[in-house]
Amino acid sequence: MVTAAGAGLKTLERELVGAIQAGLPLAPRPYAEIADRLGVDEPTVRARVRDLLEAGVIKRLGVVVRHHELGFVSNAMVVWDVPDDRVEAIGRALGEAEGVTLCYRRPRRPPHWPYNLFCMIHGRERESVRAHIEALRAQTPGLRDVAHAVLFSGRRFKQCGARYGEPGLARASVEGHDHG
Partner 1 sequence: MTHGTPDISVLAEDAEPSTAERGEFTALERRLLNDFQRDFPVSERPYAELADRLGVSEAEVLGALGDLTRRGVVSRVGPVFRPRTIGVSTLAAMAVPGTRLEAVARVVSEFEEVNHNYEREHEFNLWFVVTAPSEARLAEVLTEIEARTRLPVLDLPLEHAFHIDLGFRLW
Return the residues of window 6-45 that contact partner 1 according to CB under 8 A: 6, 9, 14, 17, 20-24, 26-32, 42
CA gap 117, 87 in Å, rounded: 7
DSSP per residue over 84-100, as a string?
GGGHHHHHHHHHHSTTE
* # of chain residues touching partner 1 (CB under 8 A): 91
Helix (H) or strand (E) holding 45: helix 42-54
Among 41, 71, 83, 127, binds partner 1 (CB under 8 A): 71
Helix (H) or strand (E) holding 33: helix 30-38
According to the binding rule CB under 8 A, does residue 160 interact with partner 1?
A: yes
Min dist. Cβ of residue 17 to partner 1 (A): 5
- The alpha carbon of 54 is separated from its chain's Cα centroid by a whole number of angstroms, namely 17
According to the binding rule CB under 8 A, does residue 165 interact with partner 1?
A: yes
Among 37, 77, 140, 142, binds partner 1 (CB under 8 A): 77
* Residues 137-156 close enough to bind partner 1 by CB under 8 A: 149, 151-156
Among 10, 36, 124, 135, binds partner 1 (CB under 8 A): 124
Cβ nearer to partner 1, comparing 144 with 179: 179
Contacts of 3 (CB under 8 A, 6+ apart): 164, 165
